[in-house]
């Protein structure tokens, strides 16, 4: 029989790990430049935190039939239209210009910051390259 203290310890350890892993901000060392935005260095880290988490736009769940865990999945029209951020659905919902607002307001994930949104728009304007 497993001692109750050991069960409690494992339960508390699991809760601590879950809570500490719920960070919805991009790492501070990622500086999204005003030009030459890289998908792998600047965009994917943001999408991993804002979109491809919490059983939303990951490859398995594909909420709205859209996943954002790879360049191939993300770079899908009409969600991303290379060269045209003003008509890319992913930008329009992330900025709240069209519903539904993403990430949803009732989720634990914070909305895109201005810096993140501008970086996403710049990446699309520059051709939504797999770089």
Q: What are the sequence ranges of the domains in the chain?
A: 37-131
- For residue 105, pLDDT over 70 is answered with yes
pTM of the model: 0.77
Instruction: State residue 1's pLDDT score.
Output: 59
Instruction: State residue 5's pLDDT score.
Output: 52
Backbone angles phi, psi at 75, to 5 degrees: -85, 60
Question: Tell me: the pLDDT tens digits for 16-56?
Answer: 333 334 444 555 557 899 999 999 999 999 999 899 876 79
Instruction: State residue 4's pLDDT score.
Output: 63
Radius of gyration of the chain (CA): 17
């Amino acid at each position: 029989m497993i001692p109750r203290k050991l069960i409690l310890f494992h339960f508390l350890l699991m809760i601590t790990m879950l809570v500490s892993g719920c960070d919805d901000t991009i790492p501070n060392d990622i500086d999204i430049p005003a030009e030459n935005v890289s998908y792998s260095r600047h965009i994917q880290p943001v999408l991993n935190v804002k979109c491809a988490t919490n059983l939303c736009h990951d490859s398995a769940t594909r909420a709205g039939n859209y996943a954002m865990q790879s360049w191939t999945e993300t770079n899908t029209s009409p969600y991303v239209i290379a060269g045209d951020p003003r008509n890319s659905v992913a930008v329009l919902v992330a900025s709240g210009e069209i519903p539904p607002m993403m990430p949803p307001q009732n989720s634990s994930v914070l909305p895109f910051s201005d810096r993140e949104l501008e970086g996403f728009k710049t990446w699309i304007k520059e051709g939504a390259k797999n770089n």
